[in-house]
Structure 1
Amino acid sequence: MSKTPPPADRSSEREARLAAALRENLRRRKAQSRARATTEAPGAAPTPSPPPAEPPRQD
């Protein structure tokens, strides 16, 4: 029968797992940023968002 590891071991395992997740997240975000940069035409203005809808008039 195995015992649960002491809290110090669990803490270091958690830190290692979180560090790996952060590295992976950073890689993914960089890849997304590079993909966006390559799909945009150089010098092209970004498309403007539509104006907000006017609220209904109270007559």
Structure 2
Amino acid sequence: MTKKEKIETKSERQKRLAAELRANLARRKAQARSRRAGDADERAEGIPSARKDRGQ
């Protein structure tokens, strides 16, 4: 692998990690908003609502 190829590979990795970080942050923000509202998380793998009077 040449030096130029290593730089390109490193750059691609940094872009991929940055995109994953943004996606993770968006999920965490949505989860925090849901918790503040007291509603259940809408994702399939999400958490149930903390409120007992909703969803029953």
Same fold (TM over 0.5): yes
Is 1:18 aligned with 2:40? Answer: no
RMSD in angstroms over aligned alpha carbons? 1.3
2:26 aligned partner: 30
- Number of matched residues? 38
Which protein, 1 or 2, shows the higher relative CO under an 8 Å CA cutoff with sep ≥ 6?
2
Q: Stretches of 4+ moved more than 4 A in 1?
A: none
Larger radius of gyration: 1
5+ residue gaps in structure 1?
A: 43-59
Q: Deviation digits for residues 8-56 of structure 1, max 9, x if unmatched?
A: 00000000001000000000000000000011038xxxxxxxxxxxxxx
Percent sequence identity over matched residues?
8
5+ residue gaps in structure 2?
A: 39-56
